[in-house]
Amino acid sequence: MDQNLYQQIISEYRKTGSVDLTARACGTYPIKVRKVLITEGLWHSKKSDAVNVLRQRGYSVSEIAEELGMDEKNVQFYLPYTDGVLSGKETGGGKRIRSFRERSKNAAEGSMSRKQEMISDGGSREKPLNPEKPVTPVEGTISRAPAAPGTGKAMARPRTAQTYRDVWQGYLLHAELVLPGHGSDEDCEDIFTHEKSPEVLRTLLKTKKGITRDLIVPGTMSLHQLSYALQKAFGFQNCHLHHFSFPKKLLRQMTDNRIGHWKELCGVYLHAPVFEDFEDLYWDDDYREGKSPNNWMKSKYTGDAVDYAVGETFIDSLRLMKEEREWVERQMREEKDPELMRFRDYEDLPLDVCAREYSPEENLNRVLERLKVQEIFDLQPLPASETESWRRDLKENNQISCAYLDAYRQTLSFRSLEDAMDTLRLMRTDRHQLDQGIWLNRKELKEELGRDPEGLLDVVDREILELEHHIGEAMHAFDPPAEPVTDTLYYSYDYGDGWLLRVTCREIFTRQEVIWEIDKSPEDLFAEAWKRQNRRDPDLEKKLQEHVLQRDFSDEYEYESTDGKWVNDDLRSALIRAELKKEPVCIAAEGLPLVEDVGGVHGFFDFLRTIHGEDADEAARMRVWARSMGWKEVRPKPDSLL
């Protein structure tokens, strides 16, 4: 860890006595501040005391986690920094991140993600890692499609006697870089807050207002895919943790600030509080050296949405919430805190009290990334007058899903599904440990395995991929339907630098088509042409796709906004591309791209001042470093950003 930051945290905390204020003053994250203070003996909690007492008794991290009913990752955040970290010695994780950043952006064209390689791999397969516990593929007996999400406001355009149907929706999302707000009612601030010369900064940033991107995205795009698209649009490289969250005011409205209402959102809108199951949360973080980073990133936000995160399912959320409730109730009984004794049980706890007292390191406002854009965004947030009826519908849908679960719980297929999901989570953890071992000490690992560890990693990847495809659809068969509830989400990236994007839905565009007697879209006709070839013909497929993108779509592809107006030609071209190629399209961009690990918003401003300052040597050095991070000092062209 940087010694200057370490000492600054100690100094600021002694002045303020507040973890949050110290984190804000030092430009870092409260988790890092607490860990420094624990190391120095300046801060403690009941949980940290319990962790460190067991550590002093010689317990391992896994033994502490088991003893206290915590996740191993959570235990790590309550342990002091080691001497190696405090001395500034580069850790294995640091080496891995550094290597990731140094990977060439000029890798061979046409490279694709490992998942695509595995799907097309027709070679022989090696035996599973754990032959004693084979995973039985889940039979296709579990299939219950969720109810269709809302479609926004009704169309105002007058209709003829012909029959129409909605066939596709595109969403205009406005993403803006903001500063995190630290008040209980404050989500964000303008990026120029606390700056003495915002006009000079606007000149350096090459923007009139701020740093913004406008994206046209398919309604079927998942938030998981949107995360990659936002990173690419703003210049990030997927090096750090991230999450989406609701505006604070909306979350309080949805939950009435009560845990009893909040728990109904878990597994439907919010991730249950598990800290931190990184290997599962970032299940497709499968970049391998030698691939083109640009191509890899694009493969993540293009195409149909899929989700194989165990923790994103309603099934797993019920289990996690049961464990969370039991732990909190046990703490309430043991602590006998007078302030908390006035609450009868867990469900009566205020949400902010539970977050402060029992989940200080866990995020109770992490939106599920499996949700699709059309399942979460609308042109306005949930009206306060409709909140009660919305809660009743939400609870009823959850009860229906639980009834389905109870009906299937004793069947062989459901037991196989649960076993397979547990196995998938464990395999991801094993894969992470193997990958870490390769980076930390490949030579010793090779001697221990008696083979190249990369070969074993390929085997693990194939096993994980096969298991994902066996259980992928069944994992989410019991997820309750979600209805659009907000016009705004916040996207947090790199908890150390504290980047925050405010993503707002500005418009919803709908394509409708007439239902003719012979009802076939151009895509259906092209699919039949491919089928007549009796095989996939890449050349023919490419020609047909080019034909689709070049032809006149005045009849088949017309889009209207929610007020019933037809869109202009430029916007229609972007919508056609988003629909047919199943990818986001950037239609407007303000401000330069950002830089990884520059120190957040204010660090980025200091960086710009430096490269335009009077010290030529320092400016040159900073430019070289920024280029190594993939940064270009050019105003981005919207159509080339994604």
- pLDDT value at residue 90: 46
Cβ neighbours of residue 94 under 8 Å, at least 6 residues apart? none
CA distance 450 to 479: 44
Predicted local confidence at residue 157, as pLDDT: 36
CB-based burial, 229-267: b 16+ in 10 Å, e otherwise = bbbbbbbbbbbbebbbbbbbebbbbbbebbbebbbbbbb
- Give the integer Cα–Cα distance in Å for 39 and 3: 13
* In contact, 206 and 635? CB cutoff 8 Å: yes
Q: Which two tokens stand for residue 275?
A: 């800290």
pLDDT of amino acid 93: 41
pLDDT at 367: 94
E-strand stretches of 206-313: 212-218, 242-245
Q: What DSSP state is assigned to residue 491?
A: E
* β 242-245/499-514 pair status: unpaired
Taking the chain (642 residues) in runs of 10, the rounded mean pLDDT of each run is 79 78 75 83 78 79 77 74 56 42 36 33 34 36 35 36 64 94 80 82 85 94 95 89 92 91 92 75 76 82 88 89 81 70 76 71 84 94 93 91 86 85 87 80 78 83 86 87 94 89 94 54 59 60 60 64 85 89 92 89 89 88 85 84 84
Cα(540)–Cα(527) distance, integer angstroms: 11
Q: How many CB atoms lie within 10 A of CB 320?
A: 17
- Give the integer Cα–Cα distance in Å for 31 and 496: 9
Helix (H), strand (E) at residue 176: strand 164-180
Rounded Cα distance between 495 and 243, Å, is: 10
CA distance 355 to 288: 37
Asked, as a colleague might, if the bond just before 276 is cis with ω within 30 of 0, I would say: yes
Question: In angstroms, rounded to a whole number, what is the distance separating the alpha carbons of residues 368 and 226?
Answer: 12
Q: Which of 365, 101, 155, 362 is nearest to 245 (CA)?
A: 365
Strands 188-189 and 164-180: antiparallel
